[in-house]
Amino acid sequence: MPKLDSWSRLRTVRADLGATLRVVGERWALVIVREISLGLHRFDELQEATGAPRAVLSDRLRRLTDAGILATRAYRNPGSRARMEYALTGAGRDLLPVLAAISDWGARHLTGEATRDVDYRHIACGGRVTAELVCECGQRVNPHDHLVAQINR
């Protein structure tokens, strides 16, 4: 396994992790993705559910749309001007396991609550979905026992 000096490690964080966190690492980004996954699609619904300031929400929705995580579609209420509503794209739906993993981690390490505010469920059977690490060989991996990070540079 290659060793990286501190400058190379910093470059790796800036390039890979940094690029991802610039899109989804900001406080409101994953909250917005979660709320849209729960069925809220319109600006006013999202603002009420999240409590995000309107300017902040507008900015995050634009950034998530520009990043390809959200798509917009026009709608019009009778007697009102046309507005946009938001839906998850494939890239946005790919963030749902991340949200499930963060929720699992928080329940284990922060809240200690048996009841969660949001559960992720399998539509076919209704069972709760959790995030697990699975090796390409098919074996489940316990991060405490059998997981190492590998640098690919």
Answer whether 7's CB lies under 8 Å from 87's CB: no
Query: Strand runs (DSSP E) across 40-114, as ranges?
Result: 70-75, 83-88
Q: Between 70 and 77, name the one with better pLDDT.
A: 70
- How confident is residue 87, by pLDDT bands cut at 50, 70 and 90? very high
Of 64 and 105, the one with more pLDDT: 64
Contact 28, 74 (CB under 8 A): no
pLDDT at 2: 55
Structure tokens belonging to residue 152: 């690919």
Joined together, the tokens standing for residue 4 give 């990286």
List of domains in the chain: 6-141 (1.10.10.10)
Predicted confidence (pLDDT) per residue in 20-60, tens digit: 888 899 889 999 999 999 999 999 999 999 999 999 999 99
84 within 8 A of 73, measured Cβ to Cβ? yes
Question: What pTM was computed for the model?
Answer: 0.80
Question: What is the reported pLDDT for 33?
Answer: 97
Candidates 49, 45, 39, 43; CA nearest to 62 is 43
Determine whether 35 is exposed, middle or buried from the number of CB atoms within 10 Å of its CB (0-12, 13-18, 19+). buried
Q: Can you give the pLDDT at residue 153?
A: 64
